[in-house]
Amino acid sequence: MSKIRKAVLPVAGLGTRVLPATKAIPKEMMPVVDRPALQYVVDEAREAGIEHFVFVTGRNKGAIEDYFDRAYELESSLRDKNKIDILDKLTAELPKAGSTSFVRQQSPLGLGHAIWCARDVIGREPFAILLPDVLVKAKKSCLAQMVVAYNKVGGNIIAVDEVPMDRVSSYGVIAPKTAGDNGKLIAMSGMVEKPSQADAPSNLKITGRYILQPEIMDLLSDQAAGAGGEIQLTDAMARLMQDQSFHAFKYDGQDYDCGSKYGYFEAFAAYAIDHPEIAGRARALIKKLAQDG
């Protein structure tokens, strides 16, 4: 069983749900307390042992490449002002030389197409996908938990989380092979996009973290457009499921959809009240605002 060494992060989206902020800054670079949302996702992957990051970018995303590069003027200024603690934090978060790749998705043809754009860097080995819109706050990173599960069963792993049945129509949900299977690692028979409550095969929503085998790239190469006229990753996964095992993994943690205004606020508040420098004041402020409101 091959080690999961590489991760694809699709960052080409326009972030229309959080306009007008994303008119000036990539949605992935919007700050959550004191670092961009994307940094949390990269940290999650690093904890899972990811060695190489493939960012699938688009136009006006140069800030992402700059962020993961040296900033010599800034570093020199911090050094001159003896702000060594801040300098150390910046340099500690820099990727190792050669551990990042940036590939371009020239046209917005869907998530499946974005993943396919990384095919030459991924090669013929299993890999992870992390959707940067989603932050998962957990004691042990979501992807690290998934890697442990992958090492047990192999195949393909999809992170899932329970939602109330009256909300399943807002998500893609998985279909367990065995009805009523309530373990943490669940063999899958399929996926359903935004089902009605009556038709939903489960209340386990797909969260935005995947470990997939390289054959998914072969299927994406000729995958027909699906919902919204885009090449959908879920359509290719459904085809791959005919030949390979898929498991849903119920991770420990809380996910936040930073691609929406409320989800972004929710994530900001959640990380603020646990931040080592401002946790106490953040909690007090949120409590005061709730009382005053």
Q: What is the pLDDT of residues 111-159, one digit of tens each?
A: 999 999 999 999 999 999 999 999 999 999 999 999 999 999 999 999 9
Burial class (CB in 10 A: 0-12, 13-18, 19+), 92: exposed
Partners of residue 56 on adjacent β-strands: 10, 103
Q: Where are the domains of the chain?
A: 6-292
- Check residue 180 and give its pLDDT: 63
pTM of the model: 0.91
pLDDT reading at 15 higher than 80: no
Question: What value does the mean pLDDT take over residues 22-35?
Answer: 89
- Alpha-helical regions (H) of the chain: 37-47, 62-67, 72-80, 84-92, 111-116, 119-122, 142-153, 215-220, 233-240, 261-272, 279-292
pLDDT bin (cut points 50, 70, 90) of residue 181 is: low
pLDDT reading at 97 higher than 90: no
Residue for token pair 């401002």: 278
Q: What is the pLDDT of residues 203-216, one digit of tens each?
A: 999 999 999 999 99
- Check residue 293 and give its pLDDT: 67
Q: What is the DSSP string of 93-160?
A: TSPPTT-EEEEE--S---HHHHHHTTHHHH-SS-EEEE-TTEEEE-SS-HHHHHHHHHHHH-SEEEEE
The CATH class of 6-292 is: alpha beta
Distance CA 139, CA 81 (A): 35
Q: Range with the lowest mean pLDDT among 29-33, 77-81, 224-228?
A: 224-228
